Amino acid sequence: GSNGSSTTKLYPKDQSTFDLLQDLDIPPDSYEEYLCMKTLLLLCTVPKDGLKSNALFEEIRMTYLKELGKAIVKREGNSSQNWQRFQLTKLMDTMHEVVENLLAFCFHSFLDKSMSIDFPDMLSEIISNQ
């Protein structure tokens, strides 16, 4: 494609991402849309029944909880850090629901022609396979 200096600053630095952008045929002025698409593509790799069904995720979660326990024993005085750690634990536990809801929203948006959302072919294929 074109290497005009006015558009290159909008694109990520790595060439593979740049190529993906061109494949998706997204105009240079909609970089935010590209980021949304990228996020959706990543979320679509999450199993439909959520992260908790994934053995590796569960292992990471349990390891984190053990480390959290150790950290709390060592630093009882620092309650704000402990609070942040519990918030992160809560986030990990609810992440699969968030993903499931977002996928459902994307699917319904895709079906709702009145919203006239134009999904790239690759994303359409992923949504139809859910």
Q: Is the pLDDT of residue 1 over 70?
A: no
The answer to whether the CB of 107 falls within 8 A of the CB of 130 is: yes
Q: Which of 18-27, 86-95, 99-108, 115-124 has the lowest mean pLDDT?
A: 18-27
Contacts of 87 (CB under 8 A, 6+ apart): none
User: What average pLDDT score do residues 46-73 get?
Assistant: 72
The answer to whether the CB of 96 falls within 8 A of the CB of 46 is: yes
If pLDDT is split at 50, 70 and 90, which confidence band does 56 have? Answer: confident
